[in-house]
């Protein structure tokens, strides 16, 4: 299964996606950490902001876009199509309760990335058939990063979804350096993490460890 797609004449590596949750804005040196880990191997960044107002969300997005653009790292906005358009992000990630994918595609056009969340094969197949560019599948393990998180799907279910889907898959939920290789062994294209990096005492080292484990498993495939 390929780990990259071509978009706007450049390769996109799905290996390690940082979900930059604005819950960490007041807890860490948010923008400095994002810049630091981007230079250590984070290959994709998704900005998630569930509680901030639209103005703060946009200002945060613009700052992250400025950091990532020179590094050619794709930038995805979670849920908010208007913010994605305003900051000229590379795309959006949509949940099952967000604007349906076909309508999002009409607004964003074919040049933007659209990802969808899926927790089972049925939802994954539906998203793929509607034109999703990639899937975020999980939670694989228990996670504290989301309130009212769903029951973990586990590696067996993740592997089953991978076998039935042709577009890139990012595994999410409770993933850290200690289990990243195991997750990658299911054939997914990459992992998406929040607390494994932003909640770490040393985000730089944590990123390096994640990258190392991901590469180690890729070398076996």
Nearest to 116 by CA among 127, 105, 131, 106: 127
Nearest to 90 by CA among 14, 24, 146: 14
Residues 82-110: tens digit of each pLDDT: 999 999 999 999 999 999 999 999 999 99
Q: How far apart are CA 159 and CA 1, in angstroms?
A: 12
Backbone angles phi, psi at 63, to 5 degrees: -65, -40
The answer to whether the predicted template modeling score (pTM) of the entire model surpasses 0.85 is: yes
Residues 123-132: tens digit of each pLDDT: 999 999 999 9
Q: How far apart are CA 110 and CA 11, in angstroms?
A: 16
Long-range own/partner contacts, residues 209-216 (CB < 8 A, 24 or more apart): 209/177, 210/16, 210/41, 210/176, 210/177, 210/180, 211/15, 211/16, 211/40, 211/41, 212/177, 213/177, 213/180, 213/181, 213/184, 214/15, 214/16, 214/180, 214/181, 214/184, 214/190, 215/15, 216/181
Nearest to 153 by CA among 117, 112, 203, 200: 117
Tell me what pLDDT residue 146 has. 59
The number of C-alpha atoms within 13 Å of 49 and in the hemisphere containing its C-beta is: 22
CATH superfamily of 4-218: Aldolase class I (3.20.20.70)
Confidence tier at 219 by pLDDT (50, 70, 90): confident
Q: How far apart are CA 8 and CA 81, in angstroms?
A: 19
Residues 144-194: tens digit of each pLDDT: 765 566 799 999 999 999 999 999 999 999 999 999 999 999 999 999 999
């Amino acid at each position: 299964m390929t780990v990259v797609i071509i978009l706007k004449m450049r390769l996109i590596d799905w290996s390690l996606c940082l979900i930059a949750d604005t819950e960490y804005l007041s807890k860490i040196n948010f923008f400095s950490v994002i810049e630091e880990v981007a230079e250590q191997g984070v290959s994709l960044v998704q900005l998630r902001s569930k509680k901030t107002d639209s103005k703060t969300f946009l200002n945060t997005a613009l700052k992250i876009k400025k950091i990532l653009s020179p590094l050619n790292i794709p930038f995805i906005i979670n849920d908010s199509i208007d913010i994605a358009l305003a900051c000229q992000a590379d795309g959006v990630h949509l949940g099952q309760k967000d604007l349906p994918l076909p309508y999002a595609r009409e607004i964003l056009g074919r040049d933007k990335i659209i990802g969808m969340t899926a927790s089972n094969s049925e939802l994954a197949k539906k998203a793929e058939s509607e034109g999703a560019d990639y899937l975020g599948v999980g939670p694989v393990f228990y996670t504290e990063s989301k309130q009212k998180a769903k029951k973990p799907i586990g590696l067996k279910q993740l592997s089953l979804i991978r076998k039935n889907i042709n577009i890139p898959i990012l595994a999410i939920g409770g993933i850290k350096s200690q289990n990243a290789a195991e997750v990658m062994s299911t054939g997914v294209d990459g992992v998406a993490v929040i607390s494994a990096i932003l909640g770490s005492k040393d985000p730089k080292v944590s990123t390096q460890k994640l990258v190392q484990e991901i590469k180690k498993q890729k070398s076996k495939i």
